[in-house]
Structure 1
Amino acid sequence: MAEKQYEPTPTVIADDIHITYKVQSGGSTREVHAVKGVTFVAHKGEAIGLIGSNGSGKSTLLKAVAGLLPPARGHIYTQGQPSLLGVNAALMNDLTGERNVVLGGLAMGMTRRQLRERYQQIVDFSGVDDKGDFITLPMRTYSSGMAARLRFSIAAAKSHDVLMIDEALATGDAAFQRRSNARIAELRAEAGTVFLVSHNNRTVTETCDRALWLEAGTLRMDGPAKDVVAAYEAHTKPKK
């Protein structure tokens, strides 16, 4: 008897999304059309990379999926509460890393009991204590890389229906990147969907099975990560 095939479960549906915002410049206001008619469907267990040049609309699109920017036109449907790394776990510079782990974990929806159980795991994963007792120091003493690693560690300590990561894996050494990739694989196995915005194309091909290429706010290509990255690199290669 043939095994029954199940349709993949959608977690995010973006239907003809347009996002605009106003920018003040020289005493006048102009409207920027940042995302123009983007449509896609994401499913459980997918890791999707967002690639494109600076200002192409990648981070703006993620903020809209997270519910932080309302679309001017179109609709976004999500299963559960999407978590945008670095926004939900908003860290405070004047507080210690230790205190930020607690507050960030609570902001990501963890209980105090879960935080007590996972606290040391979060600190160890981030590596901020590898070269001293930094976790007891204020966040303002951290490098941008240390802060990004701690944010990722807090967010990755719990499962998410949809987790969106904006450039977090570009920071840290090879060992941290391996830990991050392994944790993303676990999140996908737990039926989560992961979105990753990165300027490092190798990170996208190693971490994601699918990629969306945005350019000037429009969706140029949606397909297997290696194919989309290859097309993007061919497009951006300097002409001889």
Structure 2
Amino acid sequence: MADIATNIKEVPVAAQTAKVPTVVVDDVHIVYKVHGAGAGKGSATSALSRLVSRKKSPSIREVHAVRGISFTAYKGEAIGLIGSNGSGKSTMLAAIAGLLPTERGGIYTNGQPSLLGVNAALMNDLTGERNVVLGCLAMGMTKEEVRSRYQEIVDFSGINDKGDFISLPMRTYSSGMGARLRFSIAAAKTHDVLLIDEALATGDQAFQQRSKERINQLRGAAGTVFLVSHDNNSIREVCERTIWIEHGELVMDGLTEDVVSAYERGERP
């Protein structure tokens, strides 16, 4: 791990002195295989014909989503990931969470990463109440812990501010309500590594402020927080370190104000 760390660019001084790495990303490449790209109309019939004749698809395209990214994250850090749409930020988070395999390179974690995104799975046919209970149990909380934290989770989400929505099925929720409940469930537990993908973009200003305060508590309690967001103000408020990714490559890694300012100016180092 020491050899890997020597290749990391511009790690902040505070992180260097901590000396407790939680995530090491070592020359990671991630490649998607897109099937049927450009096949156009009739592709289902063509696919069936190929299955019968055992021929390979002529339209498999590879997308090199992440290209040789390396960095080390340390305990207690909040790290922002910025870049344009399709730059590889969410792909990088999914790989750290263990949801995507690497084509080359390796990802090493100290503890269990937990990915929180706006599309995190909850069960639409169950009530918000049941989703809170099942979500907390799935994170490893005991029934006693769920009971003791339940009302705090509901209050944090603000789901019941305008009615008894927590007793209604999730399918009746707006996308914003669902996202707030997802974050509230995930934030009820202390995580070794918490990966947040655009989840702070939902909710009103009061909820966003509560979320930022909770992220700071999570950092202080245990681990490392990664935040993907297109809201640069949120990155500035939450993260002291930021990584800029563009076209799957690491452009800049350093203090948040330095990196975000360069990104906003469009100036690569």
- The question of a shared fold, defined as TM-score above 0.5 by the shorter chain, is answered with yes
Looking at structure 2, the residues matched to 58 and 108 of structure 1 have their Cα atoms a distance apart, in angstroms, of: 24
Looking at structure 1, the residues matched to 60 and 120 of structure 2 have their Cα atoms a distance apart, in angstroms, of: 32
Residue in structure 2 matching 1:96, options 111, 127, 150 = 127
* Structure 2, unaligned runs of 5 or more: 1-15, 40-58
**What amino acid maps onto 1:129 in structure 2?**
N
CA contact 1:16–1:37 (8 Å) conserved in 2:
yes
CA contact 1:12–1:42 (8 Å) conserved in 2:
yes
String of CA shifts for 1:74-99, please: whole Å, max 9, x gaps: 01000111000149962111111111
Q: Structure 1 residues 6, 34: closer, same or farther in 2, change over 3 A?
A: closer
String of CA shifts for 1:100-148, please: whole Å, max 9, x gaps: 1111112222121111110000000000111111101111111111111
Q: Deviation above 3 Å: which 4+ runs of structure 1?
A: 86-89
Q: Does 2:220 correspond to 1:189? A: yes
Q: Does 2:38 correspond to 1:26? A: yes
* Structure 1, unaligned runs of 5 or more: none
Which residue in 2 is equivalent to 1:59?
90
Q: Output the aligned Cα RMSD.
A: 1.6
Which residue in 2 is equivalent to 1:142?
173
String of CA shifts for 1:186-234, please: whole Å, max 9, x gaps: 1111131000000101110011111010000000000011111100000
Looking at structure 1, the residues matched to 165 and 230 of structure 2 have their Cα atoms a distance apart, in angstroms, of: 29
Deviation at 1:26? 2.6
Secondary structure, aligned partner of 2:203: coil
Secondary structure, aligned partner of 1:213: strand
Number of paired residues? Answer: 232
| 1:93-172 equivalence runs, <5 A | 93-172=124-203
**What amino acid maps onto 2:34 in structure 1?**
V
Identity %: 72
**What amino acid maps onto 2:22 in structure 1?**
T
Q: Structure 1 residues 84, 199: closer, same or farther in 2, change over 3 A?
A: same
Q: Rg larger in 1 or in 2?
A: 2
Residue in structure 1 matching 2:106, options 57, 72, 75 = 75
Looking at structure 1, the residues matched to 220 and 64 of structure 2 have their Cα atoms a distance apart, in angstroms, of: 36
Q: Does 2:23 correspond to 1:12? A: yes
